[in-house]
Amino acid sequence: MIMNARVSIVPCSDYSDVKNEIKEALDLIGGLEKIIVPGSRVLLKPNVLAIRPPEDAVTTHPAVVSALCELVSEAGGIPVIGDGSGITRPDSTATAEALRVSGIEAVASACGVELINFETSGFVEVDVPGGRQFSRLYISKAILEADVIISLPKLKTHELTLYTGAVKNFFGTVPRKIRKQAHFLEDRELFGEALVDIYSFIKPHLAVMDGVVGMEGDGPAGGTPAYAGVVMASYDCVALDMVASELIGFDPMQVPTNKAALARGFGTRHPELVGTPLEEVKVSFKKPTGGIGALMPPFLRKALRRHLTVRPFINTSRCALCKACVLNCSANAIEKVDDVLKINNEKCIQCYCCRELCPNDAVEIKKSLLVKIVNRG
């Protein structure tokens, strides 16, 4: 990671000319050439949290993703786009649909760029040196295969972390079970630590913020679109988050990811600002009201973690014992018991890769009663 905490701010009134505005923001910090050598595989990680269209301001705008594809190609890199959506649907189709509805699938196809669905493309177990909540993690294979990693966050509030930006954006790189474990940690500070664990392993090279239309109130998905009219860039995700959270009227030191990251030596409390002065573009986003998880007592969160489950299981009457799932299960959770295959729920990370690749549709989903009730509402 380049230790350059310069953050650029460039006004951007809408998405019609966003490529030029992003180019200006990048040039102000030193340009893409500083991190891309010709032929490098450059992973663009937008925020594709949910199955929502661009105008809802939940996901990174496709015009921003398209601009980065073009700029990376012009710098000699090979762009690829990837993400795994949030827990919005109890099966393995959520990310595919979120990529389609967000307009990002169309961008990939128009730019001739590989599109990676983190939910189904596999995970690798890794050590997290110095991790506070996770000493080991499963991370999307796509992260390990990239030479350069670029965070493309959306400027939004977040009920649990107050603000979500370049660091929190990498939550989409871990499987759902780990996300669920992190969400149900005892408080928002611990959740911030978990997010910084993920960030500390990934060590992204650049962040470009979609701050044209963001989200205020009960983000990251239940708030209201809010205009901020900027794009921002930094080689340092934490520095960018410090400035972006201040830009929307929040105290950056109240944001758990900022606090946890600074305490571990990432970023800087006072990044160097270039481009338009912060005071000229500051807005005031409505704060989130708190979030159910944050307001819940710890014992209730623990009980929910146990009961809010969507587990895969193998329908043995359909299973042909081809073992494709066994060979591709990164958690080694599929075991032979009495001549049939069973999924060990303790080991399973709920990535649903087995469900995706089974040629006989033998991997089915069992929802807990609580999930069924929540989905009905």
Compute the least distance from the CB of residue 330 to ligand SF4, in Å.
6
Compute the least distance from the CB of residue 342 to ligand SF4, in Å.
10
**Terminal CA-to-CA distance of the chain, rounded, Å?**
44
Name which of 81 and 358 has its Cβ closer to ligand SF4. Answer: 358
Distance CA 248, CA 229 (A): 11
Q: Which residues contact 57 (CB under 8 A, 6 or more apart)?
A: 154, 156, 213, 214, 215, 225, 226
Compute the least distance from the CB of residue 50 to ligand SF4, in Å.
21
Residue 353 binds to ligand SF4 (criterion: CB under 6 A): yes
Compute the least distance from the CB of residue 357 to ligand SF4, in Å.
6
Pairing of strands 154-158, 162-164: antiparallel
Residue 208 binds to ligand SF4 (criterion: CB under 6 A): no
Look at residues 343, 49, 348, 298 and name the one whose alpha carbon lies nearest to residue 177: 348
Name which of 190 and 321 has its Cβ closer to ligand SF4. Answer: 321
Residue 363 binds to ligand SF4 (criterion: CB under 6 A): yes
What single-letter amino acid sits at 346? E
Residue 303 binds to ligand SF4 (criterion: CB under 6 A): no
Only segment of 7-15, 152-160, 181-189, 357-365 that touches ligand SF4 (CB under 6 A): 357-365
Residue 46 binds to ligand SF4 (criterion: CB under 6 A): no
DSSP 265: T
DSSP 360: T
Compute the least distance from the CB of residue 122 to ligand SF4, in Å.
9
Answer whether 248's CB lies under 8 Å from 163's CB: yes
Q: For residues 316-345, which are near ligand SF4 according to CB under 6 A?
A: 319-325, 329, 331, 333-334, 341, 343
- Candidates 360, 364, 368, 370; binder of ligand SF4 (CB under 6 A) is 360
Residue 103's Cβ-side half-sphere holds a number of Cα atoms within 13 Å equal to 14
Taking the C-alpha atoms of 161, 171, 86 and 45 in order, what is their torsion angle to the nearest 10 degrees? 120
- Candidates 66, 102, 245, 350; binder of ligand SF4 (CB under 6 A) is 350
| Reduced DSSP (H G I as helix, E B as strand, rest coil) percent helix, strand, coil of the chain, to 5 | 35, 25, 40
Compute the least distance from the CB of residue 163 to ligand SF4, in Å.
31
Residue 351 binds to ligand SF4 (criterion: CB under 6 A): yes
- Candidates 9, 80, 231, 362; binder of ligand SF4 (CB under 6 A) is 362
Helix axes 237-247, 256-263, angle to 10 degrees: 140
Compute the least distance from the CB of residue 202 to ligand SF4, in Å.
21
Q: Contact positions toward ligand SF4, by CB under 6 A?
A: 312, 314, 319-325, 329, 331, 333-334, 341, 343, 348-354, 358, 360, 362-363
